[in-house]
Amino acid sequence: MNLIIDVGNTFVKLAVFHQDSLLHKLVCKPEEISKALENLLNDFPELRKAITSKVGRLDAFEIYEIQERFKVIELSSKLKLPFKNLYATPDTLGVDRMALVSASVKQFPYKNVLIIDAGTCITYDFVGSKNEYFGGAISPGIRLRYKALHNLTANLPLLDTEMPNNLIGDSTFNSIHSGVVFGAVKEIDGIIEEYQKKYSDLTVILTGGDANFLSNQLKNSIFANSNFLLEGLNFILEFNTD
């Protein structure tokens, strides 16, 4: 059994895999990780191997807690990866994007794949039909767009994410919802269409925290998978296990 530890900017995701099957998943705050690990070991005493992917930070005690309990590897550009990385600056490629690309070559080998991760940022990652990673794009996610309108203007309020009822906003609140949500949807659809012009056999994956929120609004055909990053981390762990 494998333990996946995905450290985000705010929360930590923990997942237990047996081979390719996701058995259990939970989300906690970084300061709660010691108790969460204890509970997982009670439920899954067979856990031995772990991989950590850190976008956010853990303190020294939390890292010690993980290393004491498991044979752990940390995802970085130095690790053996299941794809050829053609990114011009491979050392700056985010570990989350490495995991997503790994999941794509596991589940859709030797296909042209566009992975869209709708989270804090919206990232676009393209993998070619020879399992070569070329790069992609990064833009602000939905929450960042709401926050930017509030933080960088004098009078616009900070709103909770909400699906607008109408393209034409009839109030400041509704205008913000329309601009943020429909703006993100049209961006994603537009980028998909540009890739489809070049790759007619394109497979599109949508994942991330806002995947379910956005998926029904997109006009293009996609595969929505909220666990895609975790599945990629599990594949990398297996790929680096003797």
Q: Are 27 and 207 in contact (CB under 8 A)?
A: no
CA–CA dist 141, 143 (Å, integer): 6
Which stretches of the chain are assigned E, i.e. beta strand?
A: 2-7, 12-18, 21-28, 49-54, 71-74, 84-85, 113-118, 121-127, 132-140, 203-207, 223-224
CB of 102 closer than 8 Å to CB of 82: yes
Q: Residues 212, 226: contact at Cβ < 8 Å? A: yes
Residue type, 96: D
- Given a contact cutoff of 8 angstroms between Cβ atoms, the answer to whether 47 and 23 are in contact is no
Residues with a catalytic annotation lie at 96
**Cα distance between residue 6 and residue 167, in whole Å:** 36
Q: Nearest to residue 96, comparing CAs of 230, 187, 203, 224? A: 230
Calpha distance 73→118 (Å, rounded): 26
CB 90 within 8 A of CB 77: yes
For residues 34 and 36, give the distance between their C-alpha atoms in angstroms, rounded to a whole number. 5
